[in-house]
Amino acid sequence: MTQRKPEGVSFETWVEHQIRTADERGEFADLPGAGKPLPKRDGPEDSYSWALSWARRQEPDATFLPPSLALRREYDDLPARLATLREEGQVRAAIAEFNGRVAAAWRQPLDGPPVVVPMREEEAAVEVWRASRPPEAEPAPPVPAAVVRTRWWRRSR
């Protein structure tokens, strides 16, 4: 709202006017959730559950875990993440980055429950990654070059 409410107009009338003109301009068209019912609430909602649901709506894949538990979950999910990588260099870089964050977490005071997260051994993880890869196809044998025959009348030249 960029305009001030004129004097003598009630607040409700001014708000209704702003909504109606915005609707006429089409500012409410194609909003996400248009035409869908509002989600049902089960029971009374306190401020904590409201804040948690708001945060989940803002960032759906966020995990609301203490750093030690989030690092442990990442430790458990690391093999699946490594399986999606295509090159050995990427696998080694991902393991080195994870081990660096584990080392940094060891140097920090505990946030949350005391969960010890071990480092991943790089060579063992790379071997598991190699074993999960399909075998590389052998290169096809080279196709022999076609023999070019010269015509008999060109041989004398």
pLDDT in tens, 60-117: 666 677 788 888 889 999 999 998 988 889 999 999 999 999 999 888 887 777 788 8
- Please give the distance of CA 121 from its chain centroid, rounded to a whole number: 25
- Above pLDDT 90, what percent of the chain? 17
19 or 143, which is more confident: 19
Q: CB within 8 A of 78, min separation 6: which ones?
A: 94, 95, 98, 120, 125
Neighbours of 119 (CB within 10 A): 14
pLDDT over 80 at 15, yes or no: yes
Nearest C-alpha neighbor of 105 from the set 139, 141, 67, 138: 67
- The separation between CA 154 and the C-alpha centre of its own chain, rounded to angstroms, equals 68
More confident residue, 109 or 42: 109
**pLDDT, position 92:** 94
Residue 100: its pLDDT value, please? 94
Model pLDDT, residue 91 = 92
Q: Give residue 99's pLDDT.
A: 94
